[in-house]
Amino acid sequence: MTLLVSSLLILASSASVSTVKAATTTSVFLYITEGAQTVTANGTTMSQGASTTFTSGNTETFKVTPFSGFTFLCFVYADSSGSVTSTDNPFPKTLSGACSLEAVCIPTSNSTATTSGSGSATIVVFAAIGGTTDPAGSTNATHSYSGYTIGHSTTLTQTPGTNFKFLCWMVQVTSANVYTSSSLTFTPAASGTAIQAIWIPTSSSVTLPAASPTPTPKVDEFSSLVVAVLAIALVACAFGTYAYAKKHRSSASSP
């Protein structure tokens, strides 16, 4: 009897030890561009410029919802093993260690905002994965620079980090604009300007979509043919009428 009780106690203690094994956790730091309204992980909204804790080894599905007037371009994911881009939305990823995630959304169309006047302007420079800017960026909107002059151009520069390449600048004044020049020269506005440089891994094949050309008004080919046929018919008819009238006059004037 004593042996049976001892055996049961050993089995019970072994079972409790195996079930108490603690799950390890990891964190994901989120960056977003101005065009991204929300980013969720398995349906739970994440906070911009903050870390969210997850269970290591779990697959999390990230999804971005762009603001109106913006479209999703890619996710940029980076951890200790390297960086990748994904054009999947939702984007499933198995997390094995601390990482950063950036949701990149770009405007569906560009319209350059005009500025005028004088006085002091403020710009907000956002940080992103993959590089640094001058002036430096921050992950939240409280990091701003003042003293710029409204209506006078200024220049920002960017430096890609190791294994990253520059993709574009995102500039939000009264409208959103994308610029692909290495350095950014822009005109601050009285309403303030939000700026972010975007970098992607050097191995990435993600590119900006080609700008939609302005439609050129043109006459439909069938309509053109109809117009041409009608024009020829009218000319022929007019010429025939003229020839008939001329012949009739000649006949009438003959003795």
Residue type, 17: V
190 φ, ψ to 5°?
Answer: -65, -30
- Rounded to whole angstroms, the Cα distance separating 186 from 193 reads 10
Higher pLDDT, 229 or 182: 182
The DSSP 8-state label assigned to residue 108 in this structure reads S
Q: How much of the chain exceeds pLDDT 90, in percent?
A: 52
What are the counts of helices (DSSP H) followed by strands (DSSP E) for the chain?
A: 2, 17
Confidence of residue 164 (pLDDT cuts 50, 70, 90): very high
How far is it, in rounded angstroms, from Cα 112 to Cα 116? 13
Token code pair at residue 78: 């980076």
Residue ranges with strand state E in 18-69: 25-32, 36-41, 44-45, 51-55, 59-66
The CA radius of gyration of the chain, in Å to the nearest whole number, is 33
C-alpha closest to that of 199 among 65, 124, 102 = 102
Res 146: pLDDT: 86
The answer to whether 32 and 102 have CB atoms below 8 angstroms apart is yes
Least confident range from 88-102, 154-168, 183-197, 211-225: namely 211-225
pLDDT at residue number 215? 40
pTM of the model: 0.72
pLDDT band at 245 (very low <50, low <70, confident <90, very high): low
Starting at the earlier edge strand, list the strands of the sheet with 36-41.
44-45, 36-41, 59-66, 91-94
106: how many CB neighbours lie within 10 A of its CB?
Answer: 24
Contacts of residue 84, Cβ cutoff 8 Å, sequence gap at least 6: 76, 77, 78, 201, 203, 204
Mean pLDDT of 140-150: 79
Confidence check: pLDDT of 238 > 90: no
Lowest-pLDDT choice from 79-88, 91-100, 140-149: 140-149
The answer to whether the CB of 67 falls within 8 A of the CB of 36 is yes
The predicted pLDDT at position 188 comes to 84
Instruction: Considering only residues 42 and 232, tell me which one the structure prediction assigns the higher pLDDT.
Output: 42
For the record, the structure tokens of 224 come out as: 């053109």
Residue 115 binned pLDDT confidence (cut-offs 50, 70, 90): low
Residue with tokens 């020839």: 243
